[in-house]
Structure 1
Amino acid sequence: MKGLILKDFINLGRSFKSVGVALVALAIIFIPMGNESFISGMIVLMFAMMVITTMSYDDTAKWDTYALTMPITRKEVVRSKYLLLLMLDLTGVVLALALAFVGSFLKGTGITVETLLGILIILMIAVIFGSALIPLIYKFGPEKARLMIVLCAAIPTAVLLIVAKLNVPFPAIGNEETVFGIIMIAMALISLVIFFASYFISVKIYQKKEF
């Protein structure tokens, strides 16, 4: 299991460099504009996309055919992708929080509840996004699922752009701590349900798949 995940991280080496350059450029553009929430959301989504990149690499290299000759089960192969998805999403969240803190520091203000809520909402979207795409790729392959990937990436990106452009505020919150806690729990439950449902669907698809 560890070897499968390590293999994916090694394959993502170049992608990490490209994403790093893109993030620096986006930070230079959006932080002075005060759009930390937008750039933070983009960071999480960009990292969520990377699990799809690893599956494309695997398909091109015919990795699954080779992997199944080793003493690992099909469930372990699928499980490694979902663990990778969580690791990448959490990495994106950590970087997003770091960027939000930097932006608030440069502006001389503290990080707001709205920014934290925004990052958590994007995390939920990223988990749902990845959970929806993984079984599609297992079912149809990276090439056939390409249009689905583009659409799934374009929709949340368009929403983020519209929200950032219109500067839509969050609704007024009375007891912020209570509401924040409720939202965190609700988002965690929704994400977990979709995540595990997607995992079991992917396992069924992968077990029937021939290589």
Structure 2
Amino acid sequence: MKGLWTKDIRLISSQQKNLAVIWLVAAGILIATDQISFAISYTSVITIMTAISTISYDTFDNGNAFLFTLPFSRKEYTREKYLFSLFWGMITVIGGILLVVIVTAAKGTLLMRSEEIVMAVLLNIPMLLIFQSMALPFLLKYEAEKGRIALAAMIGGIVFVVIFFFKMFETAGIELIDIVMNQMYLKNITLWASIYIISIVIWFLSLKIAEGIMLKKEF
């Protein structure tokens, strides 16, 4: 697995300019709008997408046919993709925190917004786990273009169902968003534990599904 990590790190390092632009955009938005949660989420999601895109490089010009002649199993390859993209996502979360701390400290609002920063980070981590859980099985099964189309269709379907669900409650006179947001405070340990347990379970289920996909795949 060490060789796979080395390969993917080199692929990521070849995109330094793109990553620099992502961070500059995030910094600009944060300075202009004070959108802490957006800055952290934007940088981490885009970076994890960059890490996941290494699958496209592996499949380019039937590259997998050669790649799997090397001494590692398909399960090891799948696990490496999950761990590698998660690693880069977490590194970016740390980078996002530093960016937010620097900008808010420069504005003199760090202490006032410390709870908001913690909330943004706590929400961002399970969001990354779920996003990764959704994206990787599709990209491993359908590869680059078809995988992105299938993933976009699925995300669009989920967004439609969620919006429909909230609209149904709104029609019934229930403001579900307000109810949820009122429960999202730092001392609600039960809620936070539930969110993290659910996202971790989804992540492991996705990994097992992806391993099954790779074992059945023909190159």
Shorter-normalised TM range:
0.7 to 0.9
Q: CA deviation at 1:32?
A: 3.3
**2:215 aligned residue:** 207
**1:17 aligned residue:** 17
Q: CA deviation at 1:16?
A: 3.4
Output the CA distance in 2 between the equivalents of 1:173 and 1:192.
21
Output the CA distance in 2 between the equivalents of 1:52 and 1:149.
13
- What do you get for the CA RMSD once the two structures are aligned? 2.6
On the 8 A contact 2:12/2:50 being kept in 1, the answer is: yes
Output the CA distance in 1 between the equivalents of 2:118 and 2:191.
11
Instruction: Say if 1:148 and 1:102 are closer, same or farther in 2 by CA, change over 3 A.
Output: farther
Q: Helix, strand or coil: the match of 1:145?
A: helix
**1:135 aligned residue:** 137
Q: CA deviation at 1:177?
A: 4.9
On the 8 A contact 1:40/1:97 being kept in 2, the answer is: yes
**The 10-residue stretch of structure 1 (65-74 or 22-31) with the greater mean CA deviation from structure 2:** 22-31
Q: CA deviation at 1:17?
A: 2.5
Deviation digits for residues 89-139 of structure 1, max 9, x if unmatched?
101210111112112202212242222212221221221111111111222
Deviation digits for residues 5-25 of structure 1, max 9, x if unmatched?
111110112323312122113
TM (norm. structure 1) is 0.82
**2:75 aligned residue:** 75
Instruction: Say if 1:20 and 1:86 are closer, same or farther in 2 by CA, change over 3 A.
Output: same
**1:92 aligned residue:** 92
Output the CA distance in 1 between the equivalents of 2:40 and 2:201.
24
**2:174 aligned residue:** none
Output the CA distance in 1 between the equivalents of 2:181 and 2:148.
36
Q: Helix, strand or coil: the match of 1:70?
A: coil
Instruction: Say if 1:144 and 1:177 are closer, same or farther in 2 by CA, change over 3 A.
Output: closer
**The 10-residue stretch of structure 1 (102-111 or 77-86) with the greater mean CA deviation from structure 2:** 102-111
Write out aligned runs for 1:138-157 (5 A): 138-150=140-152, 152=155
**1:165 aligned residue:** none
Query: In the alignment, residue 150 of structure 2 is paired with which amino acid?
Result: M
Write out aligned runs for 1:151-190 (5 A): 152=155, 171=181, 177-179=186-188, 181-190=189-198
Output the CA distance in 2 between the equivalents of 1:113 and 1:18.
31
Query: In the alignment, residue 136 of structure 1 is paired with which amino acid?
Result: F
Instruction: Say if 1:136 and 1:29 are closer, same or farther in 2 by CA, change over 3 A.
Output: closer
Output the CA distance in 2 between the equivalents of 1:140 and 1:103.
41
Q: CA deviation at 1:82?
A: 0.7
Q: Which residues of structure 2 form unaligned runs of 5+?
A: 160-176
Instruction: Say if 1:44 and 1:183 are closer, same or farther in 2 by CA, change over 3 A.
Output: farther
Task: Determine which of 114, 123, 126 is the counterpart of 2:125.
Answer: 123
Greater Cα radius of gyration, structure 1 or 2: 2
Instruction: Say if 1:127 and 1:61 are closer, same or farther in 2 by CA, change over 3 A.
Output: farther
